[in-house]
A and B are shown apart, each in its own frame.
Chain A
Amino acid sequence: MIIELREFTRVEGNGKAEIVIENGEVKDVRLKIIEGPRFFELLTLGRHYYDVPDLEARICAICYLSHSVASVLGIERAFGVEVPEEIALIRELGLIGELLESHALHLYLLVAPDVFGYPDAIRMATKHGELVKEGLALKAFGNRIRVMVGGREIHGINVKPGGFGRYPTVEELERVEKESEALLRLARRAVRLFAQLDPYGAQARHFVATDGYLWGEKLVSDEEGAFHYTERIEERSLVYSFAKQSRYKGETFFVGALPRLLLKSEMLTPAAKRLFEEHREKLETGYVSYNNLAQAIELVYSLERANEIAKTLLDRGIEGENIPVEPREGEGIGYVEAPRGVLIHHYRIDASGKITYSNIITPTALNHAMMEASLLEEARKLYGEAEEQAMIGRLEETVRAFDPCISCSVHLVKL
């Protein structure tokens, strides 16, 4: 017998799952990504590097800036270009805006309705209007930063190899400094709310993240030594899904907010670090559902860090100079922490600046196998115990905890 879950709601993109029952037991789970393939690697082939970050931004609306930045980092590394601190800080600020916008969307509008038993945030607002408003305030702030750094709320064009089209102004940075402080109270409240939830899903055994907090030169894991993705991560095609699956040394692994906290807690800002320590025991169990709590702690981190960056930039003043970029033959990998985990853009570029090879691996593709493992575990726990409707609801929540970005996941891979 096969129990087919309807298409997931309150997730980005189109996907569903099947639970295979044999002799009264849950035998298997298949996570089917049914969003059509989008072929972004093919789109970039033969293109001039300068246009590529804008195109790659279109992979995803929720995390377009992560894609632009990963793309820019890959291109700059291929050309051997290094940018000064000012440009790096503004990029980081942009990624923080994205983290705030994306986590607030996920926690307040997509997950909170489960916590309070509503089908959506609009209907939840009748009784919990304050909470919905708080979420929207955080989200709007994140979006204002995205407009400032990226040029638009969705699919901005301002992040370029070597710098930006337009640099933030003093007034804009002062506003970021002020607002990030004012919103901190709301983020702390979110941590209290999501700390109350009981764990569900599987306990992840392997965690992977970038070596810096929001981007890196390489990846790190729970094992010793930083590494390139090609050394330990393998992808394969599935017959039932447009997203590929990845394994870390042959096993399932987890990328996202929880892995970031567990692997990089020493890089956190003061209040975020205290909250991490307070909830460390819980988080270290590795239950995928604690990704929600980890995201709430990252809201605190993001606001503190945005404040720090705005202060630093205001103190030193903005020069607004781009670094000249000259194409040369080369290969580069950009590693970024998109809100939902590690994002990889890998390019080879020829001497005239045209892309000759491109490989993009998104967090949802990296988590695909872990999502299936979590569904299997949860289905085994609940099948025969809970009502079918309750089971299906919990399975949907299990997928939702990963904050999957299905649109992103459907075009990956090698050429």
Chain B
Amino acid sequence: MMDKLRLGVFELTDCGGCALNILFLYEKLFDLLEFYEITEFHMATSLSEENHYDVALVTGTVSTQRDLNLLKEARNHSEYLIALGTCATHGSVQGSVELPIREKLKAVYGDDGNPMRALDSKPVVEYVAVDFALPGCPYDKNEVYQVLMDIAKGIEPVRKDYPVCVECKLNEYECVLVKKGLPCLGPITYGGCNAACIRSGLGCIGCRGPLPGEVNPASEYEILKDLGYDDEYIIRKFKTFARWEP
């Protein structure tokens, strides 16, 4: 039998959801374990003995020196590194707080700030080259399953290249932007979530980050303005998960 691939899960500063989501694969996790051996996964195991990984999953933002060291370690010791989740790919909500780090620390921890070293929360992709980026807050767990299976079989995983609207239409959900006038970022956001928010009758909040290429953020901006949302509200909405300047 072929040797199993060594998989490491590295968690930088985040809510823990991207690591947790791997455990939420349930029986599919056991399917993955046919191909992978988990040799580093802080949240799930006390074992940690390998220093080489065929695949490293890195979640979270770089927010401390510890995060940066851990990220470099993961990069230096892995063949294939995946930035997993919107924190790692775009910075997500914690990366969208716009103040110099010193002022942020002072505002939260009091006049003296906190003497521990903190960095501005930035995505993994700003510090190291990644082999694959899978956004989502959280990412769709079936997507990471597919990506890991592809790698195990020697196939380069495919990156989704369509907006949330495509999956919304496939599910035949009613368009909340047109029909209800809700602020929905579906037309300009990376698909792959199976339109989870629209399923609840609510607008897409853009948690998978902006789809580059042929989408038209300017026209989305105009639509939201016509619906009566003010500039500040729209700009914040655009920036929240991906620090995106419309």
Contacts and interface: CB of A to CB of B under 8 A. Distances in A.
A-B complex is real = yes
Interface of A: 7, 9-14, 34-43, 47-48, 51, 54-55, 58-62, 64, 105, 109, 113, 119-123, 136, 140, 143, 151-158, 160, 164-166, 237, 239-242, 244, 396, 405, 407-408, 410-413, 415
Given A55-B93, A237-B110, A237-B114, A151 B200 contact: yes
B114 A37 contact: yes
Interface of B: 11-18, 20-21, 23-24, 26, 33, 38, 41-48, 61, 63-64, 66-67, 92-94, 96-97, 99, 104-105, 107-110, 112, 114-116, 118-119, 121, 137-138, 141, 196-197, 199-202, 205, 207, 233, 236-237, 240
A415 B14 contact: no
**5 smallest beta-carbon distances between A and B, as pairs:** A36-B63, A61-B17, A120-B45, A36-B13, A165-B200
B137 A39 contact: no
A153 B17 CA distance: 10
Given A36-B64, A37-B104, A37-B118, 19 more contacts: A9-B45, A12-B20, A36-B67, A37-B114, A39-B97, A39-B104, A39-B107, A41-B107, A42-B104, A42-B107, A43-B93, A47-B236, A55-B240, A105-B20, A151-B200, A156-B196, A157-B200, A240-B116, A408-B15
A36 B121 contact: yes
Nearest to A114: B46
Contacts of A156: 196, 200
Contacts of A244: 109
B233 A48 contact: yes
A78 B26 CA distance: 40
Contacts of A155: 15, 17, 137-138, 207
Main secondary structure of the interface of A (DSSP, over half): loop
Contacts of B24: 143, 153-154
Contact of B64 (A34, A43, A164): A34
A119 B47 contact: yes
Contacts, number: 180
A356 to B, nearest CB: 14
A323 B16 CA distance: 33
A37 B207 contact: no
Given A151-B200, A165-B200, A136 B26 contact: yes
A121 B33 CA distance: 13
Contacts of A11: 43
A21 B109 CA distance: 29
Question: A38, A62, A237, A396 — which one has the most chain B CB atoms within 10 A of its CB?
Answer: A38
B44 A58 contact: no
Given A37-B114, A119-B47, A157-B202, A61 B108 contact: no
B108 A239 contact: no
Contact of B23 (A105, A123, A157): A105
